[in-house]
Amino acid sequence: MNDNSRPRPRWFTETKDGHSQWYVDRFRTLAAEGADLLGEARFVDALVERGSRILDAGCGAGRMAGALDAMGHTVWGLDADPVLIEAAEADHPGPTYGVVDLSELTLDDVGGEPVDLVVCAGNVMVFVAPGTERQVLENLCAVVRPGGRVVIGFRRDEAYPYLQYDADLAALADAGVARVEHRFATWHMDPFTDESDFAVTVLRVS
């Protein structure tokens, strides 16, 4: 498939002009106001040993990648949006950043060796290109070492319904790729229920 025919992520097709800079400015403002923006990073840090190799997939402006780097991990931050990557490099230096569409993610994007954990937070799965969701999940698992984890958090959204998400996860399990280990309703590990509008899912890679 050539570049012109490849589906574009919803992040570009379903947001307004200037949305990327608005996103950057929003989190800069929240940080300046002292908001706690490290909940996801604390969750991830608790799942790995010190000095682990971590991929922040869909890293946005780098707040979590930067926090995990400061916690002593080797971190890659990848995002399809060059505006966000430019902000990440400016605001949160330390991790290795790159502009990558997660539907095309390979080991080369993380230095050629499997990582210990991939985290995909911030509703990234809602904003990938339509029809690429399962491929993205497969790619995330493919760059993780056996026994490592993939952590995915996103809101309930018609763009990628939980029923389809769970079907895609079941397909991964059936193929021996990864299985669901835990699911929570928040990054603070509140219990997930049928009424939850957010899911944090932890996968264990086979």
Is there a domain that residue 4 lies in?
no
Please, what are the averages of pLDDT over each run of 10 residues along the chain (206 residues)? Answer: 71 86 92 92 98 98 98 98 97 98 98 99 94 98 99 93 96 98 98 96 99
Q: What is the pLDDT of residue 3?
A: 58
What are the residue ranges of helices labelled H in the chain?
A: 10-13, 19-32, 39-45, 63-70, 82-91, 124-127, 133-142, 162-174
Is there a domain that residue 169 lies in?
yes
Q: How many domains does the chain have?
A: 1
Is there a domain that residue 93 lies in?
yes
Tokens of 29: 């403002």
Is there a domain that residue 166 lies in?
yes
Is there a domain that residue 200 lies in?
yes
Residue ranges making up the domain that contains 180: 10-205
- The answer to whether the beta carbons of residues 143 and 110 sit under 8 Å apart is yes
Q: What is the pLDDT of residue 1?
A: 41
Please tell me the pTM assigned to this model: 0.94
List the CATH number of the domain containing 111.
Answer: 3.40.50.150
Per-residue pLDDT tens digits for 84-105: 999 999 999 999 999 999 999 9
